[in-house]
Amino acid sequence: MRTYTNWEVYLDLMVFLSSVGCRFSDAVKMKLNNFQHKKRNNDSPIEVGVEAFFVFSQKKTNTTAIPRVNEISFDIYKKYSKGKSKNDFLFPRTERGNPISDVHFNKHIKTISKVLGFNRKVVKRVIGSKGRELQREEKQLWEVVSSHCGRKTFIKTLVLNEDYTTREIMSQTGHSSEKVFHQYYKLRERDLLKKVNPLFLKKQSNYQVKDNDRLDVEEVDVEIFPQKQLSIKEKLQQLQELVGLEYGITQEEFELKRKEILNSF
């Protein structure tokens, strides 16, 4: 029998979300048999040549995601898989055998982020259907942290990494629409400044971005509805992606908007 503190599990779960890119609902239902070994080779960047993927069907879209295992997700897997069988859940359950509540998780991960000093100023913007700013509010980063930040972190990290194509990243996140995929991240000026500009490069120090050069305020855009002319299938798919986001829409709002879209056709 192994015991963990609540905060220990919440923190590990948040790191797991950021290194695997899955939704919270899929992470808490992750089982040991979702960890699948593939062909091993001596060039593997993972410990002792382990090559594996987390292969699972996404609850929200019923599509398969196959994120590649990395050092971080592998360490968390090893920690919580000890002494368990393949059909056991990876992360601990409640005393009644239920998955961790997303409400409790989002509440406590904010507190953990505050303790860790995530105090950077951000601007939360709510954007309407015509691209008009409906709401603007300045907050500290810990106030807007939620479980969905993990999926966004994973996607933007791979986008900036350059080692993966868009299609390769989408196969790991389970996205079927590029339009929906690209809504999960936004490129800032500091992201571009981290790239090497070989045409004009004289010294390596010219393109290194120091911590004190970071912007004081980061804008967090929240697009409520699609802004471009899309097909009915694309509109419904993008609308479905917004359900459950902290600054997205509720299930009731989804149903109302869904009826509106269907009636418009």
> Which residue, among 80, 63, 68, 18, has the nearest Cα to 38 in the 3D structure?
68
Asked whether residue 134 falls in the same domain as residue 228, the answer is yes
- In this structure, are 30 and 65 located in the same domain? yes
Q: What is the CATH number of the domain that holds 87?
A: 3.90.15.10
- For every residue of 23-82, DSSP letters joined together read -HHHHTT-BGGGEEE----TT-SSGGG--EEE-EE-TTT--EE-PBP-HHHHHHHHHHHT
Q: Where are the alpha helices (DSSP H) in 98-248?
A: 102-115, 141-144, 148-161, 166-173, 178-182, 189-193, 232-242
Domain annotation covers residue 142 = yes
Separation of alpha carbons 13 and 16, rounded Å: 5
Residue 174 has pLDDT above 70, yes or no: yes
- Domain final residue, candidates 56, 89, 106: 106
Instruction: Decide if 196 is inside a domain.
Output: no
- Is 46 in the same domain as 176? no
User: Domain check: are 38 and 127 in the same one?
Assistant: no
Contact status, residue 150 vs residue 21, Cβ threshold 8 Å: yes
Q: Is the residue at 201 inside a domain? A: no
Quick one: pLDDT at residue 180? 86
Q: Do both 124 and 43 map to the same domain?
A: no
pLDDT at 79 over 90: yes
Residue 67 lies in a domain: yes
Which pair of tokens denotes residue 105? Answer: 């998780």
The verdict on 26 and 138 lying in the same domain is no
Convert the pLDDT of each residue in 19-66 to its tens digit.
Answer: 999 999 999 999 999 999 876 677 666 666 678 899 999 998 889 999
96 with 131, same domain: the answer is no
* Co-location of 160 and 250 in the same domain: yes
* Shared domain check, 221 and 90: no
What is the average pLDDT across 80-103?
93
Q: In this structure, is residue 195 part of a structural domain?
A: no
Looking at the structure, tell me whether residues 238 and 128 fall in a common domain: yes
Tokens for 132? 């008009």
Beginning with the edge strand found earlier in the chain, give each strand of the sheet holding 121-127 in spatial order.
133-140, 121-127, 217-223
**Does residue 205 carry a pLDDT above 50?**
no
Taking the C-alpha atoms of residue 120 and residue 231, their distance in angstroms, rounded to an integer, is 39
Q: How far apart are the first and last CA of the chain?
A: 57
Structural domain count, the chain: 2
State the Cα–Cα distance between residues 35 and 52, nearest whole angstrom. 7
Domain with 242 in it: 115-186+217-264
Phi and psi (nearest 5°) for 117? 85, 30
Cα 56 from Cα 65, distance rounded (Å): 6
pLDDT of residue 265: 63
Least confident of 20-34, 165-179, 212-226: 212-226
Here the tokens at position 147 are: 């479980």
Q: Are residues 159 and 80 in the same domain?
A: no
C-alpha dist (Å) from residue 157 to 21, 144, 259: 10, 19, 36
Q: Are residues 244 and 169 both part of a single domain?
A: yes
Domain boundary among 62, 78, 106: 106
| pLDDT given for residue 242 in this prediction | 67
Give the pLDDT score at 123.
Answer: 86
Compute the average pLDDT of residues 235-259.
69
